[in-house]
Each structure stands twice: as C-alpha cells, then as structure tokens.
Structure 1
Amino acid sequence: MTMLIDLTGKTALITGSTQGIGAAIATGLARAGARVAVNGRTAAGVRKAADALRADVPGADVVEVDADVSTDEGAARALDLLPTVDILVNNLGIFGPTPALEISDDDWRRYFEVNVLAGVRLTRAYLPAMTERGWGRVQFIVSDSAVVIPTEMIHYGVSKTALLGVSRGFAKTVAGTGVTVNSVLAGPTHTGGVETFVAELMGESLPWEERQREFMRQHRPQSLLQRLIEPEEIANMVTYLASPLASATTGAAVRVDGGYVDAIVP
C-alpha cells in the first residue's frame, strides 16, 4: 500500500510563515498540492517568502496575506484577503528568555495576544464554514515548553500550555462534523530565531555545531535525538495531519519532539 498525501483543491493558511517552521510548513503543503497562503506582517516580507516558495515548488499556487494576525485589525484583513480556508495552521508565535521575576504584566499580555489569541481569533472565524462543508483541518503549533516549562521563559511555556487546552476545546466544539483540530507539539527546532536564542544563552565563541551540542547537553538534556529538529521534520507531521489520511486524529497533541518530553503516552 502506498501512502499518498494529495491536498489538491484545498486552501491552507499558515500564520507566521515567512520563515522558520512556518515557511517549511507552507512548502510541505504546497508540495502536496494545496493552495498555500503565506502570512507575515509586512508586504515586502510576505512577497519575498512567497517568491521563494514559488521557486522551490514550481507551479505552486501561492496567496500573499500581509497582515498582523495578532491584532483584531490584522485578523480582519486576513479574512478579507482569504475569506475561507480548508486548512488553518496557527503557527505564529514569539519567544525569548527573561528571568521569571522580571516578566512584566505587559510581557505576559503580549505573549498571550500573539501566541494564544491570534490562533483563537482565526479559528473562531474559519471554523463555521469548515463545519458547513463537513471537512476542515485546524492545527496549533505548540512546543515541548508547553509541558516542560523552561525556567528561562515561563511566559512562553505557559502560553503554549494554553494552546493545548484551546485546541482540545475547539476539537470538542466541532465533534462529529468532519473537521479535526489538533496540536503539534514540536521539540527544540533549528530556526534562525533559535540560533539567536542559543547564542544569547551559550555565547558565540564556539562554532555552531559545538554550540548546538552544548545547548542540548546543558539546557535540553532530555532530548533523545540529541540534536535540534529541522523545520521540515515538523512540516512532515503537519502535512499528514492536514490530509484525509488523518481523519481519525482529532483533539490530540501529536509529538514531533525528538523524544524530549519524558512520557510514554502523549
């Protein structure tokens, strides 16, 4: 039996997809045949990412959605540009180290606005049409930090914990409709932002490969991979969950964490 993922005829919006994990997800969905909407805050950034995707996946149908979906106004603009979708991947997120006692109320609010409410707004907006059609896929890109709260950025970890509850709740809301809602729990992943984060924690005196190994040894020793995950590895799971092949998977927190979370069951 051949497992074939074919998303031809489906439209997918991936928030925060001009770089990193989001860009890899956009590429994976485009390769599976989906019409892909690339999203970012600026028109220039979105255009650059969209052009790169078109070059990487010849013939890809790419929509440019320049909108800051962490705001009410930005979400409204995204809906104007793309009124309906079949697949929504809530990938947008921010992170950064701050000592626990120095995280201000404004920082807490900002992390919840960007990491939690952005996905809630769009899910609330796009779900009704999905349920009417009897098919849809919503995914929230979460993090191992949702379960293993990092001491250097508990505000980030807690915002991702909230998404696990949000995802499960929306899955229950659309039970029996043909729409699935899941979280993808990503482990430590190799992105430009993480390279900067690692440099802040480890310094820049060591070459990148040694710096990465030391970061994993000192700060993420639970990882069974003992390396950072590549964004394409996250995208592979997202593409599968977006497909008809994953029709019985909903309300789940699916792990692509390299064995980082020390649990036998999800």
Structure 2
Amino acid sequence: MKSSKAQYSPAELAIKALREKARTKRRHLREKRCKVAHFVKSNNKAVGEADYKASDEGFVKKNRLPVHFKILINNCKRLVFSKRSHTDKNGKLRSISLRGRRRLFNVLLVLLTHCDFMSGQVGKPKAEHMDTTSHDALMQQYATRFGETISSSTWYRYVGMLDAMEIYFSKEIKLYGEDGVTVRSEASYKWLSKSFLHSIGAFTDVVMGSIKGSYQKALNKGLSFVWREVNAQTTPLPPQDLFSYSYSYTAPPQ
C-alpha cells in the first residue's frame, strides 16, 4: 500500500486531485440543495405541482407561469399516474409503484417547466442563444419546487426511465482543448419528444395559441431559443421547430 505522496507518480496525483475536487463539488451541491429545500419548506414557499416558477418567493403573481402550463401539468400528471409499468433499455418490463410514479412525475415536471414547447428543447433562453441546463441545476430546481432534495442517483434513475419511455432525449456536449485530445463536458442538450408533448395536449388549438403567444413575447424581449454551437468539433443538434414541421419530426439520435 502506498503510504505517501512521494510514492505516487505525477499522473496518479493529478487523478487523485481531480477525484477529490469532484467529491468536494458534489458535497457542496448536496448541501446547497438541502439548504434551499429547507428554506422553501419551512417558509411555505414550495410551489409543488402548481403552475408557478420555482423560487424562494413562493406564490407571487409575477412568478405565475403562462396559462397553458396548468393544462399541460394536469395532463402530464394523468399520463404518468396511468403508467403501472415500463420497458427499460434492456427490454425488461418493470413495474412502477405509486411512490415511483409520484417521483417520476416530479422529475418530469421540472423538465416540463424548463421546456421550450416550440422546439421541445430544455434550457434557458438568453439574448444570444438558448443555454443548456445542467442536471445539477435541474436538481436544484427540484429542491426549490418541492421543498425536498433528490439524490443524484435517484434523479438519474428517473431520467433514465423517461429516456426508456422515449419521453426525454439528450446528447452530450464535449469541449476539446487546443491539443485536440483534452476533453471536458458541458451541460448536455436535452429535449422532450414530440410524441410526449402531443400526448399531453401541447398541439391543441387553445394550448398552442398560448404557447405561441408566450414564445413571441420572449422573442420581443430579445431572447433566443436557438441552441448555441460550442465548437467545430462538437456536433450540435439543429433547432427543431415542431410546429413548423408538423409531423415530419423524427426521433433525435441517442
């Protein structure tokens, strides 16, 4: 057994340092989620499944989501709670308990409230482009919305279920260093499938009208819903206007 730093090679020391840094970051994020969950719960600011933005302000008028969210959230809840089982990526049929369906709905609700329904993209529109949103940020939103934390392992397990159900898709983003070899990752492209959005009524006349109205208001404010291209070595997903192309949509690569 190696007893001192002198017994490790520079490469081994670098790996150990990176692992320790990752552990520290995960611990910090867990503590941050616990802190925000405790605050919103103890101060009655958790909005739960209501059609409000998750924040530390609770049910304030300015954080009320556009009218189509109430319909989509209710339809999403009915859809999820109607599922008693699902087929995983290995083709095995797995049952979903009532508690599991509740957790699945909560995870999906966080994704739904960060979705651009014109494209299915999950992220945050900004002036120059639409930013991808990390899973860590989404877990933080989960804590803010429900006043309870969710572990990384639990989060990814339910995201995996949504992936297997073809409700959720993602594509990783890798950044290459100047040497062309060094790689680091950024928050992945994420989106909800058109078939799922259709199943919860996103394309009905009333809901679509509200979605388009909200979309235009955002554009008028100078916001962009086009995913940014990270660099030439990253294969970006083109923005997909679901309404313009109607049912010509094909499932994105996995």
**Normalized against structure 1, the TM-score is what?**
0.26
Structure with the larger RCO, 1 or 2 (CA within 8 Å, 6+ apart): 2
**Normalized against structure 2, the TM-score is what?**
0.27
